[in-house]
């Protein structure tokens, strides 16, 4: 065949040019006269979040950096960036501590219980168990449903029943509805003030007066029965115009507490 090898080379050249045109960037006007640039894979910078000179993926693969949550980021970088929390400062993300069982998270909020308690979470009996978990998961007594073990709630009379529940069962034990047992308010035996039940009838004076204002004629908050009534006429001196009942009004009496001395000091009769 005439010029056979030459024609074959021309065909091969054109085919290669066409292929390269598909892969590269052509700078000519036709396949036979084109020049090409074949693009190279970009040289992206290596990621080395901890600046130890080793790419993060190699750090993790080699075991020189832990990646407990398998997110492709060394744990120390997770923590330092704030992406993962490490509330107990053990260099392990909290979620991994919890997943591994090295930290408890009784309420499932992804915060180790120890950190929650240190931050102000309620642990009234200092047993390192959050109160709500102690009630909901461990069955601690909580008669008033406030998610605090009863042992930490107020039981002022030490009868084994917290005051809230005692009052709920018998509202008369808190006559002034202030949330405190009356007994512990008027009895010094339980930290109260005896004077608040001056007639010793086991009812707060304030409640008696609220129920019947006539029991405190001078409205001083003290039962009349506990105040001075010099002439025993049933009206306390503060409300009695003639304390000694000698027939002379106190303002005119030379001695308003002695009915044997009844001189009319202003001589008005």
Taking the CA atoms of 205, 206, 207 and 208 in sequence, report the sign of the dihedral they define.
positive
Distance CA 177, CA 171 (A): 8
| Tens digits of residue pLDDT in 131-151 | 999 999 999 999 999 999 999
Distance CA 25, CA 228 (A): 115
229 contacts 240 by C-beta, under 8 angstroms? yes
Distance CA 124, CA 209 (A): 38
Give whole-number Cα distances, 179 to 33, 160, 173, in Å. 99, 17, 10
Taking the CA atoms of 86, 92, 96 and 102 in sequence, report the sign of the dihedral they define.
negative
DSSP state of 123: -
| Tens digits of residue pLDDT in 201-254 | 999 999 999 999 999 989 999 998 998 887 777 888 788 766 566 556 655 555
Residues of the chain with pLDDT > 70, as a percent, come to: 72
Alpha helices in 32-112 (DSSP H): 56-62, 75-80, 94-100
Distance CA 235, CA 179 (A): 34
Phi-psi region for residue 212, left (φ > 0), alpha (ψ -120 to 50) or beta? beta
Distance CA 20, CA 38 (A): 8
170: confidence class by pLDDT, cuts 50, 70, 90: very high
Greater confidence (10 vs 20) lies with 10
104: confidence class by pLDDT, cuts 50, 70, 90: very high
Distance CA 223, CA 198 (A): 8
Distance CA 61, CA 52 (A): 15
Residues sharing a CB contact under 8 Å with residue 102, sequence separation 6 or more, in sequence order: 92
| Tens digits of residue pLDDT in 40-85 | 555 556 788 989 989 999 999 999 999 999 999 999 999 999 999 9
163 contacts 185 by C-beta, under 8 angstroms? no
Give the global pTM. 0.58
């Amino acid at each position: 065949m005439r010029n056979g090898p030459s024609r074959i080379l021309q065909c091969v050249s054109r085919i290669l040019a066409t292929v390269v045109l598909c892969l590269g960037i052509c700078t000519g006007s036709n396949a036979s006269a084109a020049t090409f640039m074949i693009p190279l894979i970009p040289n992206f910078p290596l990621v080395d979040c901890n600046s130890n000179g080793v790419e993060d993926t190699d750090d993790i693969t080699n075991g020189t950096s832990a990646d407990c949550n398998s997110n492709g980021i060394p744990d120390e970088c997770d923590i330092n960036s704030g992406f993962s929390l490490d509330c107990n400062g053990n260099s392990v993300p909290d979620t991994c501590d919890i997943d591994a069982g090295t930290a408890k998270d009784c309420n499932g909020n992804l915060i180790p219980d120890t950190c929650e308690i240190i931050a102000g979470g309620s642990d009234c009996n200092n047993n390192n168990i959050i109160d709500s978990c102690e009630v909901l998961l461990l069955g601690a007594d909580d008669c008033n449903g406030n998610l605090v073990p009863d042992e930490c709630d107020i039981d002022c009379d030490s009868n084994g029943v917290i005051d809230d529940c005692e009052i709920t069962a018998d509202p008369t034990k808190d006559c002034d509805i202030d949330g405190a047992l009356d007994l512990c308010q008027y009895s010094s035996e339980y930290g109260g003030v005896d004077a608040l039940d001056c007639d010793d009838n086991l009812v707060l004076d304030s409640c008696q007066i609220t129920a019947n204002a006539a029991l405190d004629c001078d409205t001083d908050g003290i039962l009349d029965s506990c105040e001075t009534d010099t002439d025993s006429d049933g009206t306390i001196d503060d409300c009695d115009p003639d304390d000694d009942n000698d027939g002379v009004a106190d303002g005119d009496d030379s001695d308003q507490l002695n009915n044997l001395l009844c001189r009319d000091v202003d001589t008005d009769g």
